[in-house]
Amino acid sequence: MNEFLSGLSSFLQLSIQMGTTLLFGTLGGILCEKVGHLNLGIEGMMLMGAVFGHYIGLSTGSPLFAILGAGIAGLVGALIYAFITVSLKGNQTVTGLVLTIFGSGIANFIGKILVKNQKSGLLPDRLPVAVADCFKPFKIPVLSDIPVIGKALFHQSIFIPISIICAVLLYVYLKKTKFGLDLRVVGENPAAADASGINISLYKYVHILAGGFLCGLGGAYLSLSFLSTWKEGMTSGLGWIAVALIIFSTWNPLKAIFGAYFFGILRCLPFKIQNASLFGIPISIPSQFLTMLPYVMTIVALVFITLRKKKENSPPAWLGNPYFREDR
Amino acid sequence: MLKVVKKAEGSFRQTTILRIVTVVIALFASSLVIAALGYNPVNVYSELFQGATGSLPRWQETINKAIPLIVLSLGISVAFKMKFWNIGAEGQFYMGAMGATYVALNFKDLPSYLLLPFMMFAGFLFGGLWILIPAILKLKLGTSETLVTLMLNYVAISFITYLQYGPWKDPTAMGFAKIPNFTDNAVLPKVLGVHIGWIISLILVLIIYILMKYTKLGYEITVLGENIQTAKYAGMNVTKILIIAVFISGGLCGLAGMLQSSGVERSLSDQISNSLGFTAIITSWLAGLSAPAILIVSILFAILLQGGAFIQSSLQIPASVAEVIQGIILFFVLGSEFFINYKIVFVKSKKEAIK
Amino acid sequence: MKDLTGLDFMHLKALDKISFTLNSGEILGVAGIAGSGQKELCEAIAGLQKIESGDIIFKDKSIVKLTPLDIIKRGVAMSFIPEDRLGMGLVANMDIINNVLLKSYQNMPGIFIKRSIGKIAAERIIKKFDISTPSPYHVVKKLSGGNIQKVLLGREIELSPELLITAYPVRGLDIGASYHIYDILNEQKKIGVGVLFVGEDLDVLLELCDRIMVLNSGKIMDIVDAKSVTKEQIGLLMLGHKIKDEEEKHGA
């Protein structure tokens, strides 16, 4: 039983780690969508954050610079996206996709330079001690000894509390502050926002860029803590799951925390269930079906959301009665 | 101060010239980036172009890359024309490939001239069915198709991985997870060194062109995409048009999957798309959803892709540079849309701005 | 003369127990302040809105449950010019020919659209309505204001309808163009079409129509004879006041 519990504890610890990058990306995406912009470039911004974070960490040995650099890398990606979709009113879907391709291209390129410099001795092979120590999991005494959840909650890298704090702050910002409420108007009724004197462009830029910063942090977690290295494509589709999670958590940063860890659990399950047996009965679900789960669950969540909207008497776009737009 | 004003629509010629100018500016900007990275841009560009077109085998590789891109883009364009945002081309591609593979693996004894059309039919069918899921969700519940199609991509890919490691795993592959190779009769024959997918894609370009421009269905799709109210007012059966058009869209993407698995890979794996399902969204959009333009843009993109792969070995430049160039060009074109649709006017005073 | 349309009893969300008859060869005006139910009335007849109860009878047959397409086929044509002109009847980004084809393409045999037929019809409309455009291939949204509604009205009349519903057909047009439209509507009346004319200009309504139905908040205030009613009386009705003197309202 003890073995089971300690196994469970490690499992939860890992799940939360798996969910942290996801959480950052989701929070970044929520900020973006709240101003009415769908940014499919999350994966790209994460990768840029990962590679720049690692590179700066290697070259400067400063954890602060590393983490800032990663955030700024993501922010720059978001800046390109914002410029094209806000100022130049470009197509959001395509721009986001291009950002992902571009972001991964730049990340891979910088990554190659990184490896080259490591081989030639310009850069250290591993993260300097200052950086590595800052970001590796640390134990909080006593609390981390709680069975089952102790390790998961209190024996983690500093990134984890940072992500949770960000989520809480974001929630408070959106629900309680004037800026957050104004934000809602900007996203849902730009005409009204405009009429009341809100500078829409500024709002959009600020939030899209902040979102990019968060995505960059998500990538940084992977390269500075979880894996402590750079690998091409190391985000392995997390950016896309983040897009799913944004909807799944109904754009609520608090729900996003739970959603991210839940998806983290789903990601860890395949490895645990390989030869598992529940009460002596061997079960083997092919791991790929577990991989599918986050996506399927998101579709289900989407359906629920639209079903609920329907109950509030707003007809689906294609089935509604025709409307004369006389009053536009 | 500056004021942004919506422009009256320019002529087709004006728009095309503006686009070409944009690409040239983008190439110039890319060359600055290339130079900053320590390479000679002229060298890079010429090697890139040579790598894609310099010899017959290279041309063949370029065409090989262009074929799935063309068919995918055509499929996406039909859906996009109706403002049905099919981001799921990637998933439909894989499902189509899966359908074709199923036929290839289970009907090995059919002669080629029966087996291949059967596979094409299966590819089209599976792709079409896969897209019907989001379509029906949209019709019945109003669910956004952008996100459902996107999610279904990964469901499809995971499913292929499952088949690859599970029920369809080749027992003779010595532990390596792989789906068995197709028998010869399930492989598309070659003409001029490239599998006949190239002929099929040309035919499809023609068919889609005629469909959209000269048939009732094409007309209905266009009207529906422009203005749903008007479509209903004209008595169009929105549901029917949506289902048919969307099925064609998914079907074409599925067919692209069949062509790739049968003509190039001779098997199926979860990697065969090279993310072309996403690239095709970009090419389709760049081409303004027009079939002949899709043909040209896809070939140009294929040149970029093939050239990029080539310079990786010849100049020791990472293939990611091609992605960076691609990205820069695309960003510029996306941004240039602004200058096509709007113009910036200088106004002397606030009074004028209110006018 | 066929008795064209009898709307016996109609109860919509926006309309409340509307009941009237439109005869062939007459122009029935509909007056009312914006939002009194004019839109819904037009939509309901054209089959674009669901009716809660009641019936619409056209040529002795009920058309309430029919699809818009069937209603078009029966000979009901509707042209509604919303404030932005392009709203519902036209596709802004398509050219005149493609817009003209909107209601008649279904009649073409086979799967292809013969644009040549559309071109002939478009040229006919352009000429008859004196539409100012460089060519029938000109995109509709580039046409200047009044010309857009001429295209819309022209297309509907091309269908040779027996019931023509037209709302605000002269919105924003200059005097000359407006009178041109009135002439055309009178022509339609003369050949036996029943015209339901929704308008804003009371002088026009009085001049053009045979009878005028005044709506307010979805109810019919009254249906008056255009020749004998005064502008002030219509104004009062529009605002919701009933007219006391019976004789003043109805002509013989």
B72-103 residue pLDDT tens: 999 999 999 999 999 999 999 999 999 999 99
Is residue C131 a part of any domain in this protein? no
For the cut 50, the answer to whether the pLDDT of residue A317 exceeds it is no
Is residue B81 a part of any domain in this protein? yes
The domain of C226 spans 5-85+158-249
Q: Does B323 touch chain A (CB under 8 A)?
A: yes
pLDDT tier, B247 (very low <50, low <70, confident <90, very high otherwise):
very high
Q: Which residues of chain B does C78 touch, with a Cβ-Cβ cutoff of 8 Å?
A: 233
Across the interface, which of A109, A288, A292 has its CB nearest the CB of B321?
Answer: A109
Q: Which residues of chain C does B234 touch, with a Cβ-Cβ cutoff of 8 Å?
A: 68-69, 72, 102-103
> CA C203, C208, C212: angle at the middle one, nearest 5?
80
- Taking residues A258-281, report their average pLDDT: 73
Count of all residues that appear for chain A in the document: 328
Q: Which residues of chain C does A319 touch, with a Cβ-Cβ cutoff of 8 Å?
A: none
Interface of B with A in 75-94 (CB under 8 A): 85, 87
pLDDT tier, C6 (very low <50, low <70, confident <90, very high otherwise):
low
Q: Please, which residues bridge with residue C6 across strands?
A: C21, C57
Across the interface, which of C48, C49, C82 has its CB nearest the CB of A326?
Answer: C82
Closest residue, chain A, to B134 (C-alpha) = A299
Q: Does B129 touch chain C (CB under 8 A)?
A: no
Structurally, how many domains does chain C consist of?
A: 1
For the cut 80, the answer to whether the pLDDT of residue A250 exceeds it is yes
Q: A183 to chain B nearest CA, in Å?
A: 22
Q: Does B28 touch chain C (CB under 8 A)?
A: no
Rounded CA separation A34/A281 (Å) = 47
Residue B98, pLDDT score: 95
The domain of A138 spans 7-311
Q: Which residues of chain A does C80 touch, with a Cβ-Cβ cutoff of 8 Å?
A: 324
Which CATH number does the domain housing residue A116 bear?
1.10.3470
Structurally, how many domains does chain A consist of?
A: 1
A71-89 residue pLDDT tens: 999 999 999 999 999 888 8
Q: Does C240 touch chain A (CB under 8 A)?
A: no
Percent of chain C with pLDDT over 70: 83
Ranked by mean pLDDT, the top range of A98-102, C44-48, C101-105, C133-137 is: A98-102
Closest residue, chain B, to C78 (C-alpha) = B233
Residue A216, pLDDT score: 95
Q: What is the mean pLDDT of chain A?
A: 82
Across the interface, which of C43, C48, C82 has its CB nearest the CB of A325?
Answer: C82
Which CATH number does the domain housing residue C73 bear?
3.40.50.300
Q: Does B342 touch chain A (CB under 8 A)?
A: yes
pLDDT tier, A325 (very low <50, low <70, confident <90, very high otherwise):
very low
Q: Does B232 touch chain C (CB under 8 A)?
A: yes
Spell out the long-range contacts of B8-17 with Cβ–Cβ below 8 A and sequence spacing 24 or more: B8/C142, B9/C139, B9/C141, B9/C142, B10/B340, B15/B340
Q: C250 to chain A nearest CA, in Å?
A: 33
Query: Which distant-in-sequence residues (6+ apart) come within 8 Å of A222 by Cβ?
Result: A21, A46, A50, A234, A235
For the cut 60, the answer to whether the pLDDT of residue C168 exceeds it is yes
Q: Does A76 touch chain B (CB under 8 A)?
A: no
Q: Please, which residues bridge with residue A3 across strands?
A: none
Residue A155, pLDDT score: 82
ipTM, 2 dp:
0.81
Rounded CA separation B303/B300 (Å) = 5
Q: Which residues of chain A does B166 touch, with a Cβ-Cβ cutoff of 8 Å?
A: 286, 288
Residue C251, pLDDT score: 45
Closest residue, chain B, to A318 (C-alpha) = B139
Chain C contact probe: residue of B11, B15, B232, B233 with most C CBs at under 10 A: B233
The domain of B102 spans 65-299
Is residue B309 a part of any domain in this protein? no
Neighbours of chain C (3+ CB pairs under 8 A): A, B
Chain A contact probe: residue of B143, B149, B332, B344 with most A CBs at under 10 A: B143
Residue B11, pLDDT score: 65
Q: Which residues of chain C does B219 touch, with a Cβ-Cβ cutoff of 8 Å?
A: 98, 101, 105, 113
pLDDT tier, A47 (very low <50, low <70, confident <90, very high otherwise):
very high
Is residue C149 a part of any domain in this protein? no
Does C46 contact B233 at a Cβ distance shorter than 8 Å? yes
pLDDT tier, A324 (very low <50, low <70, confident <90, very high otherwise):
very low
Residue B355, pLDDT score: 46
Is residue A327 a part of any domain in this protein? no
Q: Report DSSP letters for chain C, one per residue.
A: ----EEEEEEE-SS--SEEEEE-TT-EEEEE-STTSSHHHHHHHHHT-S--SEEEEEETTEE-TTS-HHHHHHHTEEEEE--TTS-TTTS-TTSBHHHHHGGGTGGGSSSSB--HHHHHHHHHHHHHHTT---S-TTSBGGGS-HHHHHHHHHHHHHHT--SEEEEESTTTT--HHHHHHHHHHHHHHHHTT-EEEEE-S-HHHHHHH-SEEEEEETTEEEEEEETTT--HHHHHHHHHTPPP--HHHH---
Q: Does B237 touch chain A (CB under 8 A)?
A: no
Residue C13, pLDDT score: 60
Structurally, how many domains does chain B consist of?
A: 1
Across the interface, which of B151, B228, B322 has its CB nearest the CB of A244?
Answer: B151
Is residue A211 a part of any domain in this protein? yes
Percent of chain C with pLDDT over 90: 0
Q: Which residues of chain C does B223 touch, with a Cβ-Cβ cutoff of 8 Å?
A: 91, 94, 102
Q: Does A233 touch chain B (CB under 8 A)?
A: no
B165-192 residue pLDDT tens: 888 888 887 777 888 888 888 889 888 8
Is residue C122 a part of any domain in this protein? no
A108-164 residue pLDDT tens: 888 988 888 888 888 888 888 888 888 888 888 877 777 777 777 888 888 899 999
Percent of chain B with pLDDT over 70: 93
Neighbours of chain B (3+ CB pairs under 8 A): A, C
Q: Which residues of chain A does B279 touch, with a Cβ-Cβ cutoff of 8 Å?
A: 101
Is residue C222 a part of any domain in this protein? yes
Is residue A180 a part of any domain in this protein? yes
Does A326 contact C88 at a Cβ distance shorter than 8 Å? no
